[in-house]
Amino acid sequence: MNSYVVNLYPVPNDGYPGQTLTIDSAQAYQFTQAIDYKTTCCYITVAGGDFYVTFDGSTPSVNNGHHIEVPFAGWWSKEATRVAKMITTGGHTSRVTFSQFTY
């Protein structure tokens, strides 16, 4: 039996930058950095304060969306990163960063 095993861990998509957003409660924020076609997932980190995020095009709020608590570090799919809308509550700001990875 032959098998071919490749690195099972994501690899940075060199040359394709990520982005850092400072989000507050004034509006719903989205990443604007283009995501490369080879990117399969994005690593997300959050500092500052908690925020709410939606992935379905609706506007996030305390009554709508996923509550992301600080500290947060995790993987989002390419599409989830592209469509995510984020907003904070309570008058604080959050710093959300993504980096592009491929397999």
What total of structural domains would you count in the chain?
1
Cα gap 87→67, rounded to integer Å:
10
CATH number, residue 66: 2.60.120
Residue 7 is predicted with a pLDDT of 58
Please, are residues 53 and 28 in contact by the beta-carbon 8 Å criterion?
no
Q: Is residue 6 part of a domain?
A: no
Q: Is residue 4 part of a domain?
A: no
Please, are residues 10 and 103 in contact by the beta-carbon 8 Å criterion?
yes
Say if residue 78's pLDDT is above 60: yes
Q: Is residue 89 part of a domain?
A: yes
Q: Is residue 76 part of a domain?
A: yes
Say if residue 70's pLDDT is above 60: yes
Residue 63 is predicted with a pLDDT of 95
Over residues 13-33, the mean pLDDT reads: 93
pTM (2 d.p.): 0.86
Q: Give me 85's structure tokens.
A: 């809308």
Q: Is residue 35 part of a domain?
A: yes
Residue 91 is predicted with a pLDDT of 84
- 44 burial type by CB count under 10 A (0-12 exposed, 13-18 middle, 19+ buried): buried
**Residue 26 sits in which domain range?**
11-102
